[in-house]
Every structure is written in C-alpha cells, then in structure tokens.
C-alpha cells in the first residue's frame, strides 16, 4: 500500500508525463534493448520503428500515474495488456528490469526536474503496479496451462492447409503436431506465432486473430501480407508466412488470448463492422453466432479497397444466405470494373454515418468493430453520433493500443 505522500508526488507528475511521456518511453526502449538485447526476441520491432509501442506505453504510464490511488480503475487496461504479455511469454523476472530502465529514462529525459523524491516515489509506485500485472498474468498462465487442451509457452503446430482468400490475405489451418486436443477460445481472441526467419538475428512474435468459430480440430488464422510502403517496411512475419510456409511446416503457437470477445450472454442483436484484415475476429464471431445462436439478429458490415482484396466474402455470404436473421453489406473504396458489373458491393467510397443509419436495423444492439486505426476512429465517431452507449461498443486494435478521437480521414 502506498503512503499518501507517495501518491501525491506521483499525481503531481501527471502533467509532466502528459507532456514528456513519449520522449521518456522512446528513451526507455533504447536503454532496454541496449542493456538487454535478448528482449528483442519478444517485442515487435515494427511497432518500435513506427512509434506505436512508445505511444502506447506512454499512455499506460500516464494512466497509471493519474489513477495511482485507484488502480482498479485501470484494471480493464491491465487485463488487456496482461493477455498480450502472457501470449508473448513476458514473465515476473522481466519486471525489475523494466522498472530500473523506466526510472533511468525518466531521470535522463527530465534531468534536474526528476528529483530523488520523485524517483523514489516512482520506484515505489512501479512496484505496486508491477505486482498487479504479475498477479493477473500469473493467473492467466495457470489458466492457460491447466485448461483442457491447454499448454504453457509455445507449442508446435503443423500447417494442415493453406488457402488464398484474396490477393493479399491467406488462411492457415493449424493442427497440433503432438495430435492432442487444443484449448478452447472465445470468438475474437488471437494466438501468438513465434518464428525464426532465416537471416534474421532475433526471433519474431506476431499475434493473429483466430478467424473461425471455436470447437474445431484446428486453429485458423487469416493473415494479410504486409508489403513495403513509403515510410513502412514490409511485414517480415506476414511475408514469410505467405511466401515460405507450406503444407506440413511447423509453427510455434501460444495458447489463445485476448479481451476482445463476443458476449455470449447478451441475447440482443449484434452489429459487426470491419475494415481490411480487421474482419478476421468478426468472421469468428459471425461463425459462432450462426452455429450456436441462430436466433440473434446479426448485421455484418465490411469495408475493403475492392473485391480483389476482400477476403472470406464467399464464406460470409453463404452463412448469410442460410438465415434471414443475418444481413451482410460491403463497402468498396475503389471498386473494380468487375465489381461494378457484378454488383458486388452495396456502397462505393467509405462507410459514413448516413449509410450506417440505413443498414443497421436497430440501435439496441451490441457493436463490435476492428480495422485500421483511422477507420476505427471514424466508426467510433459515427456510433457516438448515433447515440450508442459506450457499454455497447467493443473494439480491438491490431498492435499497440491507440485512442479513438474522431479522425479527419478514413481508409479501407
């Protein structure tokens, strides 16, 4: 338990963290990887190079300082991060390393403003915060290992089938190499894949949503090939999966994780909205609803650049064709001539508020969405304008958490 004086010192640093948080976390990661290069086998290098991880950590530190006397307030965020830590293999012994490095970064960036009193207060506060994470993650590790078909660490899976779903997305059907049972999962969860790529010094770990309903003998992930773009390098893992992983090859998976899950207890209508490869957790949810909850009213909305890159469309349309309770709508930013000739889409351009009002049958529903960050900002803003209660809005970021302030632009 922190003393009141320590709490007040931490709270007094909130404005400083708001201003210098990203500078602190940038320096933190530089120091961390210089002193402990083995941790490069855990962290996503692409998120580091793009600055997303630094921003996410800065936001987490800021929130922890702001609510240091009410850490239960940020428990949902703690659980979300803890799921990722468990899936990556972050352990209790990593926390002292992180704490020492964070204090060193604070001292370097703030200089004389980081007094001994402030650093001592942060050392105590970090200890409290770390204990919360360690406790939550310990329970997750235990549950992951002890559940039926569960395991600890990474388990060998064999690629049973590889299916090209669009010009940029391919599905991988994975079964355990040992022939044993696999852990159940909730629709919306993900698995981590640990991969050693020839020519790469470090191991790479990436998280991919499970794109089919639970209860199967396999896990399916549907991966977008991330080619290089201006200012953005190619995705090393996604390109390797597309180009080099074939039938019979072995991939190492952690057990399913994630807080973005379908509420199975809610009997109200469901609206699933996705952009690009963000449809993968939505298809898992749709398949589960169609198989196990056929009475629920479901609206599935997907935005893509055009039909060439629209994955899993046939599967969704087949599901929708079997039930009057399910409606599916496609929005194409730049449809091809073939898309136009075949009337393959319902809206040209981007998803907007008027169109959402037209296709969503009721606002008394649970809303789930996922996609690129600008897309998610637009959807979130539209749902706010529609008056959807915050408790009925659920979303997932691919990669480090961001914020969903209204966007000035949208992407498919």
pLDDT along the chain (412 residues), means of 10: 92 91 92 93 71 78 88 88 93 94 95 95 93 94 96 97 98 98 97 95 95 97 93 90 97 97 95 97 98 96 98 97 97 98 97 97 97 94 96 87 53 36
Distance CA 190, CA 257 (A): 6
User: Is 325 among the annotated ligand-binding positions?
Assistant: no
User: Is 207 among the annotated ligand-binding positions?
Assistant: yes
Active-site residue (options: 137, 165, 186, 396) = 137
Is 137 labeled as catalytic in the residue annotation? yes
In the β-sheet with 298-304, what is the strand arrangement from edge to edge? Answer: 347-348, 326-332, 298-304, 270-275, 366-370, 393-396
- Domain extent for 195: 155-253
| Model pLDDT, residue 84 | 93
Distance CA 349, CA 303 (A): 9
| Model pLDDT, residue 55 | 82
Q: Is position 117 within any domain?
A: yes
Structure tokens given for 192: 């981590």
Are 8 and 142 in a shared domain? yes
Which DSSP string corresponds to 2-53? --HHHHHHHHHTHHHHHHHHHHHHHHHHHHHHHH-GGGGGTS-HHHHHHTHH
Q: Is position 403 within any domain?
A: no
| Model pLDDT, residue 408 | 41
- 251 close to 281: Cβ distance less than 8 angstroms: no
Active-site residue (options: 95, 126, 141, 332) = 95
User: Is 209 among the annotated ligand-binding positions?
Assistant: yes
Phi, psi of 92 (to 5 degrees): -60, -35
Are 87 and 106 in a shared domain? yes
Are 141 and 164 in a shared domain? no
User: Which of 112, 91, 116, 104 is CA-nearest to residue 30?
Assistant: 104
User: Is 399 among the annotated ligand-binding positions?
Assistant: yes
Q: Is position 409 within any domain?
A: no
Are 160 and 117 in a shared domain? no
Distance CA 47, CA 54 (A): 8
| Model pLDDT, residue 412 | 37
CATH number of the domain to which 11 belongs: 1.10.490.10
Q: Is position 408 within any domain?
A: no
Split into its structural domains, the chain has a count of 3
| Model pLDDT, residue 410 | 39
Q: Is position 405 within any domain?
A: no
User: Is 16 among the annotated ligand-binding positions?
Assistant: no
| Model pLDDT, residue 71 | 86
In the DSSP assignment, the letter for residue 257 is B
User: Is 286 among the annotated ligand-binding positions?
Assistant: no
């Amino acid at each position: 338990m922190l003393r009141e004086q320590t709490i007040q010192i931490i709270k007094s640093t909130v404005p400083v963290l708001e201003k210098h948080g990203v500078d602190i976390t940038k320096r933190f990661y530089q120091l961390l990887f210089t002193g402990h290069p083995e941790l490069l086998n855990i962290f996503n290098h692409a998120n580091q190079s793009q600055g997303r991880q630094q921003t996410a950590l800065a936001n987490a530190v800021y929130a922890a300082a702001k609510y240091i006397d009410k850490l239960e307030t940020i428990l949902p965020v703690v659980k979300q991060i803890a799921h990722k830590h468990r899936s990556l293999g972050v352990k209790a012994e990593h926390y002292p390393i992180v704490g020492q490095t964070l204090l060193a970064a604070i001292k370097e960036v703030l200089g004389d403003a980081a007094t001994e009193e402030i650093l001592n207060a942060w050392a105590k506060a970090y200890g409290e915060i770390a204990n919360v994470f360690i406790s939550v993650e310990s329970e997750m590790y235990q549950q992951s290992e002890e559940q039926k078909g569960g395991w600890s660490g990474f388990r060998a899976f064999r690629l049973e089938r590889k299916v090209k779903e669009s010009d940029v997305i391919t599905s991988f059907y994975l079964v355990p190499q040992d022939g044993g049972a696999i852990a159940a999962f909730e629709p919306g969860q993900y698995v981590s894949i640990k991969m050693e790529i020839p020519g790469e010094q470090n191991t790479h770990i990436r998280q991919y949503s499970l794109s089919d309903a639970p209860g199967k003998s396999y896990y399916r992930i549907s991966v977008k090939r991330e080619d290089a773009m201006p200012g953005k390098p190619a995705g090393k893992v996604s390109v390797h999966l597309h180009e080099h992983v074939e039938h019979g090859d072995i991939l190492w998976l952690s057990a399913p994780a994630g807080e973005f899950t379908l509420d199975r207890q809610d009997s109200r209508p469901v609206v699933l909205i996705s952009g690009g490869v963000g449809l993968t957790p939505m298809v898992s949810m749709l398949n589960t609803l169609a198989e196990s909850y056929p009475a629920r009213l479901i609206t599935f909305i997907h935005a893509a650049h055009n039909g060439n890159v629209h994955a899993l469309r046939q599967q969704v349309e087949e599901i929708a064709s079997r039930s009057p309770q399910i409606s599916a709508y496609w929005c194409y930013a730049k449809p091809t001539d073939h898309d136009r000739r075949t009337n393959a889409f319902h809206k040209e351009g981007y998803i907007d508020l008027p169109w959402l009002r037209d296709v969503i049958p009721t606002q008394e529903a649970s809303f789930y969405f996922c996609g690129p960050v600008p897309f998610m900002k637009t959807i979130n803003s539209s749902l706010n304008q529609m008056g959807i209660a915050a408790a009925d809005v659920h979303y997932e970021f691919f990669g480090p958490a961001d914020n969903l302030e209204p966007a000035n632009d949208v992407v498919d």
